[in-house]
A and B are shown apart, each in its own frame.
Chain A
Amino acid sequence: MIRFLLKGLLRDRSRSFFPILIVSAGVALTVILYSYFNGVEIDAIRNYAVFATGHVKAMSRAYAEQAELIPNDLALLGVDSLMQDLETNYPQVRWTGRIRFGGLLDIPDENNETRIQGPVTGLAVDLFSVDTPEIDFLGLHRSLVQGKLPQSPGEVLIAEEYAGQLGLSAGSRVTLVSATMNGSLALENFLIAGTVRFGMAAMDRSAMIADIGDIRLALDMEDAAGEILGFFSDEIYKDEDAMAIAAEFNQAAPTDDEFAPVMYALSEQSDLRGMLQQTDSVIGMINGVFIAVMAMVLWNAGLMGTIRRYGEIGVRLAMGENKGSVYRSLILEALMIGFVGSLLGTAIGLGFAYLLQSKGIDAAGMMKSSNVMMSNVLRARITAGSFFVGFLPGLLAILLGTGLSGLSVYKRQTSQLFKELEV
């Protein structure tokens, strides 16, 4: 039966060519869009995790309430022992303390007086410990544009574009003007070891990366950290696991002390959950619209096909083939077309998605003033899902279209067949 139908499809191209074309185009579009949104989502999650939220993040309750303001006066104290506890209780997570800070970068003239000042957004991380994961997390080696990574205390990295604006380069001396944990004016001299470009407007605008030890000294934050970030050892974010760790930690932490630590999973921070849900909704919507539109197009194509094959179906019915059998053969044909079309569409879609993955779309212009942790180059990401995402909608659309148009078979009256065939 299948062989018979296959022969029919191959010999009568008008039966297969157009439907396969439509299914392929739709499936390819779905694969491309899915991979693109997937890429943007994975990129955003990764960037947020690395630069802002970790997979889980511990802060003091008071700090968490105003986290966007970077209130270092409310930072966690006794961080060394807290980190030891975290490492013992959650060995599947790598923990690292961080201090975010803001202020001015003051560049001196030859008289050691202010030549120029610029606002700076700082991130203090562990740069010098032997087993520090931060250099890999932040991708500092691949982001380095000039100079070298900090090798000793007092050395920092600053964003390449920012350095250009202030006329700085590797080897320049700068003074950080900020506020201590107690609110006093904090001044600290640094040597720029190198410049970096992260490819994210939010970081490249005015970022400074310093060692946490240096910043603790500068901001009078001994054994303190604004945030303790945790990353799963395999560096893959698992929302359920992260939520479970945060819930377990929070259950054990005191609730009546505003400076007691509190933990949040990545998806609970910075409205990321909303963003992830939005992306999932968009992908779901694309699939839904695709199925509906394709089904309508294929229904129409099927109707036209049935009209074209009016005589053939009539003869088959006149020869005694029952209506159910004719209908089933049409559905089986549709399944074969859908399979081939989906296969072809997936291959085409993957090809384009691969192009988008390797080349990306440069959205630097749109990201110029953005504070969202998204790369300037938006790339697609091919995942296991990319191979299947268009397949089922492709099959469903043609089945639905053929199923609806094929119903006309049941409307044929056997008594009228010979009269119709004479015509």
Chain B
Amino acid sequence: MKKKYLSTGNEACAEGAVRAGCRFYAGYPITPQNELIAYMSRRMEEKKGVFIQAESELAAVNMVFGAAVAGARAMTSSSSPGISLKQEGISYLAGCELPAVIVNVMRAGPGLGSISAAQGDYFQATKGGGHGDYHIIVLAPASVQEMFDLTYDAFALADKYRIPVMMLSDGMLGQMMEPLEFDAEIKPSGVINKPWALTGAKGREAQSIKSLWLGEGALERHNEKLQEKYRSIAKTEVKAEAYKTDNAEVIIVAYGTPGRMARACVDRLAEKGVKAGLVRPITLWPFPHETLRRLAQGTTKFLVVEMSAGQMVEDVRLAVQDDSRVSFYGRAGGGVPLNEEIIRRAAEAVGKKV
């Protein structure tokens, strides 16, 4: 039976993890994700799981590495500066093909920046972040409900592909309260056996987990295997919300907080006689290139809105393949785009004044 709660995004994310069967959490305090770690300190105990407040983000992500080695569903969370510290661990998780969920409740940077919501970590999340040729799956929630739903899905994806999955949220989504609905009896999704996990060599040969490949050509073969996996994920796991995109003369592309703002702008643009649509990527990696490429076949214009100086816009340009039809409106350093400005720029893109 579905039950309704009033929840912050951070707590919805944590509960989504608990319901997905996450039984290991390690983290370190940082604003604006502190509700998440506090919630986990209670819920992991209630579920007989493991909660550790680590000495650093480095230690936290490596504790998660260890838990994943042992076969547990494990998660860590942080906000931008802390996620930078976790990149070493994420690269190792990717290299060792270990499933884990990492939550980034983004704040403004660079450096210590501020605690305001921002989207300046798009490049870091989707283009690698750590060293080496790798990708992680990046999910972008735009509501408290999606903070729960996508985190719940993240664990199944991580296990299915043996890959780290990042929830790329922001301080606004993390801290705001909204109704949250889920089935009180919901069971963990996509639970699979993990014969590769290290639990002791009982009844089988000894196993190892490693990202080090020293033999002639061995690392190249390992990388080819990783790339094959990434191609398969890109083929099957792309997710985006398309709203009023049929016959749209201008399509706004935005994720997370600007994504939900843009949806309201699309309706207001219609009232003003501008046929506008929205594409809201839900997977940022793999990015919905094909969705956009299809929509770009005519003369449709695109307006990318971000809480950054312009990062996702590069992927949109790659998909549209006509820079003259792609414009950008963004605010970096904690600024939030204004609805009026989104509307004005969308209309301007098709030569209209509103």
Determine if chain A interacts with chain B.
no
